[in-house]
């Protein structure tokens, strides 16, 4: 005798699928919108940088290339080109225009640091920039008539740029845990606090608080790390 299907179980599974469908669609749309915005802004900044560089306005190009790096995401296609362009501008200007070279390297450095999340993109390049900037800044200060002793100034700048390169493990853990708590809290609030008829229940509030706490940890770790 064959065993028939359980209508109650089938309805329960269908209800669960229908219940989770729209939150999953909303999450996918939100992630797609954020990724699309980042790619769009990165592409626009790259176009402005190319125009500025073609017009001979290196300073404006440096600013736009830095914005390309700041909009970097795992799906962003242009951050590598921006990093190479800033490195090229710095190298070309290093002999005659140390101020421009320092500006380009500092833009590259700040763009790389701003684009880090669970890891530091191009950590080796960032370490090289930290080593190249102090002597350049000493030359800039000398050209501007800075009367401080060059060796003392160099030692001070080298100490300032000697910060560890990369993202500490504890910070990566906080970012990851905070983001997971944020998502789990949202989904838990929906699963526990909203019934099949769309009515809100008090059981959702602990999950809402977990989502808010996770969001606070996630954003604070990104901002202050």
CB 211 within 8 A of CB 186: yes
The closest of 30, 27, 98, 111 to 72, measured between CA atoms, is 111
The predicted structure's pLDDT at residue 18: 63
The closest of 158, 68, 150 to 114, measured between CA atoms, is 68
Task: Return all residues near 148 (Cβ < 8 A) that are at least 6 apart.
Answer: 141
The predicted structure's pLDDT at residue 31: 78
The predicted structure's pLDDT at residue 63: 96
The pLDDT profile of the chain, 225 residues, written as one tens digit per residue, is 445 555 555 555 555 556 667 667 777 887 788 888 888 999 999 999 999 999 999 999 999 999 999 888 777 788 889 999 999 999 999 999 999 999 999 999 988 888 776 677 888 899 999 999 999 999 999 989 888 899 999 999 999 888 766 667 677 788 888 888 988 888 888 777 777 666 778 888 898 899 999 999 988 887 776
- Local structure of 194: helix, strand or coil: strand
Total-model pTM: 0.69
Burial degree of 93 (CB within 10 A; 0-12, 13-18, 19+): buried
CB 136 within 8 A of CB 101: yes
């Amino acid at each position: 005798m064959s065993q028939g299907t359980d209508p109650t179980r089938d309805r329960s599974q269908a209800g669960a699928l229908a219940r989770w469908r729209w939150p999953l669609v909303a999450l996918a749309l939100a992630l797609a919108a954020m990724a699309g915005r980042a790619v769009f802004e990165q592409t626009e900044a790259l176009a402005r940088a190319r125009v500025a560089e073609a017009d001979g306005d290196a300073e404006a190009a440096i600013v736009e290339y830095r914005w390309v790096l700041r909009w970097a995401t795992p799906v962003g296609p242009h951050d590598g080109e921006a990093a190479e362009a800033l490195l090229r501008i710095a190298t070309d200007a290093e002999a005659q225009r140390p101020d421009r070279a320092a500006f380009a390297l500092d833009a590259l450095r700040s763009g790389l640091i701003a684009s880090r999340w669970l890891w530091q993109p191009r950590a080796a390049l960032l370490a090289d920039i930290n080593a190249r900037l102090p002597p350049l800044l000493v030359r800039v200060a000398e050209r501007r008539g800075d009367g401080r002793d060059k060796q003392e100034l160099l030692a001070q700048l080298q100490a300032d740029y000697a910060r560890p390169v990369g993202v500490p493990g504890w910070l990566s853990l906080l970012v990851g845990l905070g983001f997971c708590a944020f998502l789990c809290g949202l989904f838990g609030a929906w699963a526990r606090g909203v019934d099949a008829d769309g009515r809100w229940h008090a059981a959702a509030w602990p999950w809402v608080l977990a989502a808010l706490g996770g969001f606070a940890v996630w954003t604070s770790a990104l901002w202050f790390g």
